[in-house]
Amino acid sequence: MRTDENDRLHIVTGFLTIQAYRRDLEEFARFATQRDPSWAWGTVGREVVRAFVGHLRSRLGPSSIARMLYALRSYYRFRGRILDLDEPNAFQAIRVKPPRLLPGYFTEAEMGDTFARLEQHVARTFRLGRSRAAQRARFAAVRDLAMVEVFYSTGCRLHELATMTVENVSLPPDAYPEVKLLGKGQRERICPLGAPAVHAMQRYLEHRAKLLHKRQVTMHDTVFVGRWGEPMTDRAIELCVNALLPRGGQPGMGPHAIRHSIATHLLNRGAPIRVLQELLGHVSISTTGRYLHVSLEKIKQVYFHCFPRA
């Protein structure tokens, strides 16, 4: 993509989506160039698109292919609507239906055990003394517990946690504590924090302030930081949290599984799906609806408990 196209695309979508779209477009461009060095976006036909899909099927699953084709269709729509180009969209008629997979999640017992274990670890670090190693271990334990608590309390996405700012964390003693998150498409939403998450955040923010002062780090607003006071990247948070979870590191059982967990647990306890949609920041309620499948066991329990002829 040219620089001016990229700048305009930033207006209508988020940064991470831009990066993913760029990779998909570049992959197709490489494929098309190998077939025909003189190709152009405005002349791409169905034959090339079908060949590209066949190329992708040799190494990618249906979900990845569907995402890549969506990116290419979206790029042509962008060229038409924003750049005002009249070009055929050869990707429009090519569809690959991804399998409908149920999201992985942790049970309430697993999450309870995880928090108990992390609290015990924090308590142990406070008995280690005042050595540098002890202070590093204490800071990491306090921070890690706060991260998992916020993940579970808000149902936030990984990037939303990584970009969370101190300014957007509100912990008033006489009102509901909350955090403002910046989600997909630069959409903001407010999420409440439960009491354990508030306690974990208050304790962490105190340690964070001391660390930044000690390291003489230029003050920044990012909430979660590394041992040197630098903002943690998405990948650093993911690796850290994976090591803390009961099935962390298994496919689909990382930080995003905590998001699926709070959704499932709230539905099991009777939360309206519309409330859940707002909490998770879903644009479409059909996205939230997949958690109804996960809660089928709870539906069966309620049915056999309440139905008079069960």
Q: Shortest CA distance to 139 belongs to which of 216, 215, 196, 249?
A: 215
Q: Shortest CA distance to 240 belongs to which of 229, 254, 250?
A: 254
- For the question of residue 46 being annotated catalytic, the response is no
The full 3-state SS of 155-169, as one line of letters, equals CCCHHHHHCCEHHHE
- For the question of residue 291 being annotated catalytic, the response is yes
- For the question of residue 214 being annotated catalytic, the response is no
**What pLDDT, on the 0 to 100 scale, is given for residue 12?**
44
- For the question of residue 293 being annotated catalytic, the response is no
**Considering Cα of 233, then 205, then 181, then 148, what sign does the dihedral take?**
positive
Which one from 157, 207, 208, 265 is the annotated catalytic residue? 157
101 is a domain residue: no
Which one from 138, 208, 260, 282 is the annotated catalytic residue? 282
Confidence band, pLDDT 50/70/90 cuts, at residue 145: very high
Residues 59 and 156 placed together within one structural domain of the fold: no
Q: Which residue has the higher pLDDT, 206 or 1?
A: 206
Which one from 22, 55, 73, 184 is the annotated catalytic residue? 184
93 is a domain residue: no
98 is a domain residue: no
Q: Kind of pairing, strands 188-192 and 178-182?
A: antiparallel
Q: Lowest-pLDDT range, 33-37, 72-76, 161-165, 205-209? A: 72-76
309 is a domain residue: no
Q: Are 267 and 276 in contact (CB under 8 A)?
A: yes
Residues 122 and 60 placed together within one structural domain of the fold: no
Which residues span the domain enclosing 62?
A: 3-81
Specify the CATH number for the domain of residue 213: 1.10.443.10
Chain segment 65-81, per-residue pLDDT in tens: 888 888 888 888 888 88
**What pLDDT, on the 0 to 100 scale, is given for residue 101?**
63
Which one from 159, 256, 260, 265 is the annotated catalytic residue? 256
- For the question of residue 256 being annotated catalytic, the response is yes
Instruction: Quote the number of domains for the chain.
Output: 2
Residues 172 and 256 placed together within one structural domain of the fold: yes
Residues 10 and 149 placed together within one structural domain of the fold: no
Residues 44 and 167 placed together within one structural domain of the fold: no
Which one from 143, 159, 208, 259 is the annotated catalytic residue? 259
52 is a domain residue: yes
The tokens describing 134, both together, are: 């002890």
Q: Which residue has the higher pLDDT, 115 or 70?
A: 115
217 is a domain residue: yes
- For the question of residue 282 being annotated catalytic, the response is yes
Predicted structure pTM score: 0.70
> How many helical (H) and strand (E) elements, i.e. helices and strands, does the chain have?
13, 3
Residues 146 and 276 placed together within one structural domain of the fold: yes
